[in-house]
């Protein structure tokens, strides 16, 4: 029945709960069923079967319609071979699927295309063991259409508002081997839980359908968790994956099985049928995600406190991995790998080629002995990883055991190219596992042990505070990384630094992910009137406190379009100086006749990092006395 807002008259054309099933059964191709505002409790609905091209929409009127499952074992919406359906402006809450069935609130299977648009899902769940899927939504489609989730919310501020699955996909599971694309755009996943993997979202194509495109974009994943295996927020198995401008924070995996958990926020893996499939990541933030180990001693290494990538060719641009953490399995076992980011190449999945551009890995931690508290790349089953790190900063990461590494680590047969990058301030070795393999280190700054190889050209960088809990990798005044890189190693698409500011300032790129921006605005001219003594004009100027080091440049004076004097200067930051500018003979003759009242004074100056600025002012020149 409807309660609350149902007492109001239904909008024209809207249906109530009592006749909703009839309206769904009778909807025409291209039609829309609008559900009146209010709450419908304890009822279930079925989407009828349609031909693959049959398209229709079910939407809530006004502020939306709410469906409350009300009782255990009462899923709200079920359908098989439904055509192409859009669910819009609807709320699904407190719905539990029958024990041993998937999809707590919505279960759609067969030849179906689905769009979830501006919907809300709270407190839905599935139970029955670790094989169950989709606490709120389960979509298992064989069609070649698309599955899209847009501008929707899964879970909220309280634990009770989150959705849960005893298996995978705490909120959503999409198994769509036939899809041309699967998309999650502009959506929120918060406080969802999975008993096995994919605390917020689990999606998979089985690798038999060519190259379905999977996209995660402009979405947030916060405080989601998986209890046994992988992907605290997201578990993705796809042929082609794009992850762009998402925020992953405070997600977790706590393994209670064998201590081999992977991907505190995101686990992305490929298929043997599509080795070296592409994974493109742009502008994502992985912050304070965690893998905890309370399970048994394991020969499998836990890895990727923020993210774990297996068998995919990763291109990462402007991604940030900060303050993520990873714990070694209780009782020892395999050592942990990748406090921030873990990369893996397995024999059956090919040999990944990973490119990390403008990457920040800072303040990540491995509690216990481990490898690559910042970034780890390694192989399994005979696989290897070939990594290129460009214009990136790996700093302030910490490994608390003995014999591991805090910066960047590799495995057997792996190769590493580092260019315009900074590795500094890590606790544990800066580089590990590459000593007997290939390192190309060009215009990079690697501090610590072991020796980083040729091309290391840096003194200790000055970064704000990259340590755990802060993860601030901004360059500070007079850091030797400023204007110290090579423009040859800035890829064409890389037009900004990690914060979206211009990538190259003052003509030369900085080392690392940050492009230093000082506050130098030029040398202002303080004098409005300047006295002339012994043929020299006394003009007062100031080097601002925001300058780096000194202001160095030239003051010029012009009158009537002609230069009448100039003087070079070098002034310490924060200081004021009166410059004595020698005047031309013509200017001195004019001054004998009277003041020069419209003289253009101009300073062209730079500070110690080369920032060049111009300041102008019209002043009056007058003979002293």
- Cβ atoms of 226 and 170 within 8 Å: the answer is yes
- Cβ atoms of 463 and 513 within 8 Å: the answer is no
Task: Give the pLDDT score at 3.
Answer: 36
Task: Give the pLDDT score at 245.
Answer: 96
Which CATH code fits 529-623?
A: 2.60.40.2550
- Kindly report, residue by residue over 543-570, the tens digit of the pLDDT: 998 887 899 999 999 998 899 999 999 9
Q: With helix as H, strand as E and coil as C, how does 415-451 read? A: EEEEECCEEECCECEEEECCCCCEEEEECEEECCCCC
Task: Give the pLDDT score at 295.
Answer: 47
Task: Give the pLDDT score at 585.
Answer: 94
Task: Give the pLDDT score at 204.
Answer: 82
Residue ranges for the chain with pLDDT beneath 70: 1-12, 71-72, 143-144, 177-180, 206-212, 255-260, 271-275, 293-301, 328-336, 345-351, 369, 377-384, 402-404, 411-413, 433-443, 448-455
Task: Give the pLDDT score at 467.
Answer: 87
**Taking the C-alpha atoms of 462, 465, 468 and 470 in order, what is their torsion angle to the nearest 10 degrees?**
-150
The pTM of the full predicted model, rounded to 2 decimals, is: 0.84
212 CA to centre of own chain: 23
CA 350, 341, 219, 107 torsion: positive or negative?
positive
Task: Give the pLDDT score at 522.
Answer: 92
Task: Give the pLDDT score at 117.
Answer: 98
Question: Which is nearest to 126 in space by CA: 165, 167, 92?
Answer: 165
CA 566, 571, 576, 578 torsion: positive or negative?
negative
Task: Determine if the peptide bond prior to 290 is cis (ω within 30°).
Answer: no
Two tokens, residue 349: 């999945």
- Kindly report, residue by residue over 209-219, the tens digit of the pLDDT: 555 688 999 99
Question: Which is nearest to 149 in space by CA: 228, 208, 92?
Answer: 92
Q: How far apart are CA 345 and CA 87, in angstroms?
A: 39
For the chain, the structural domain boundaries read 1-237, 239-463+473-517, 529-623
Q: Residue 257, exposed/middle/buried by CB under 10 A (0-12, 13-18, 19+)?
A: middle
Q: How far apart are CA 99 and CA 129, in angstroms?
A: 9
Q: 514: number of CA atoms within 13 Å, CB side? A: 26
Task: Give the pLDDT score at 352.
Answer: 72
168 DSSP assignment: B
């Amino acid at each position: 029945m409807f309660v609350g807002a149902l007492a109001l008259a239904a909008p024209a054309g809207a249906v109530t709960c009592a006749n909703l099933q009839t309206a769904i059964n009778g909807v025409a191709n291209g039609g829309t069923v609008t559900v009146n505002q209010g709450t419908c409790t304890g009822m279930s609905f079925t989407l009828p079967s349609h031909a693959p091209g049959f398209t229709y929409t079910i939407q809530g009127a006004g502020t939306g319609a709410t469906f409350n499952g009300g009782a255990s074992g009462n899923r709200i919406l079920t359908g098989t071979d439904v055509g192409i359906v859009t669910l819009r402006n609807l709320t699904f809450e407190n719905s539990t699927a029958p024990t041993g069935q998937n999809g707590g609130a919505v279960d759609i299977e067969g030849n179906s295309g689905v769009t979830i648009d501006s919907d809300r899902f709270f407190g839905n769940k599935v139970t029955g063991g670790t094989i169950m899927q989709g606490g709120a939504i389960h979509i298992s489609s064989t069609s070649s259409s698309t599955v899209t989730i847009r501008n929707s919310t899964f879970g909220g501020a309280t634990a009770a508002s989150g959705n849960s699955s005893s298996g995978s996909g705490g909120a959503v599971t999409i198994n769509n081997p036939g899809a041309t694309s699967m998309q999650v755009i502009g959506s929120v996943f918060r406080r969802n839980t999975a008993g096995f993997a994919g605390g917020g979202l689990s999606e998979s194509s089985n690798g038999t359908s060519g190259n379905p495109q999977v996209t995660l974009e402009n979405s947030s994943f916060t405080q989601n968790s998986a209890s046994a295996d992988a992907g605290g927020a997201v578990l993705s198995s796809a042929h082609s994956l794009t992850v762009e401008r998402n925020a992953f924070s405070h997600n977790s995996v706590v393994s209670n099985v064998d201590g081999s958990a992977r991907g505190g926020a995101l686990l992305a893996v490929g298929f043997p049928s599509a080795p070296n499939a592409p994974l493109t990541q742009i502008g994502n933030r992985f912050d304070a995600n965690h893998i905890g180990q309370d399970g048994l001693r394991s020969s499998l290494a836990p890895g990727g406190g923020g993210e774990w990538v297996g068998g995919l060719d990763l291109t990462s641009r402007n991604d940030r991995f900060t303050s993520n953490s990873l714990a070694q399995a209780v009782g020892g076992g395999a050592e942990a790998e990748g406090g921030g980011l873990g990369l893996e190449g397995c024999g059956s999945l090919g040999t990944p080629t990973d490119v990390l551009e403008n990457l920040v890995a800072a303040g990540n931690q491995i509690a216990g002995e481990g490898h690559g508290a910042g970034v780890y790349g390694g192989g399994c089953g005979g696989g290897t990883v070939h990594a290129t790190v460009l214009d990136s900063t790996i700093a302030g990461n910490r490994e608390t055991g003995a014999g591991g590494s805090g910066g960047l680590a590799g495995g057997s047969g792996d190769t590493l190219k580092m260019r315009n990058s900074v590795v500094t301030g890590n606790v544990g070795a800066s580089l590990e596992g590459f000593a007997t393999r290939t390192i190309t280190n060009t215009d990079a700054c690697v501090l610590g042990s072991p020796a980083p190889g040729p091309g290391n050209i840096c003194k200790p960088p000055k970064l704000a505070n990259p340590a755990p809990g802060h993860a601030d990798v901004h360059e500070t005044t007079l850091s030797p990384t400023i204007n110290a890189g090579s423009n040859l190693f800035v890829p064409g698409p890389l037009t900004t630094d990690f914060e979206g500011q211009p990538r190259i300032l003052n003509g030369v790129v900085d080392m690392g992910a940050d492009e230093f921006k000082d506050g130098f605005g030029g040398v202002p001219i303080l004098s409005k009137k300047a006295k002339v003594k012994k043929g020299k004009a006394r003009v007062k100027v100031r080097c601002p406190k925001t300058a780096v080091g000194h202001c160095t440049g030239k003051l010029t004076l012009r009158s009537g379009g002609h230069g009448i004097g100039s003087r070079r200067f070098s002034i310490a930051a924060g200081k004021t100086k009166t410059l004595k500018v020698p005047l031309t003979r013509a200017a001195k003759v004019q001054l004998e006749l009277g003041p020069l009242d419209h003289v253009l004074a101009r300073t062209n100056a730079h500070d110690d990092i080369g920032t060049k600025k111009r300041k102008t002012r019209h002043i009056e020149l007058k003979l002293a006395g």
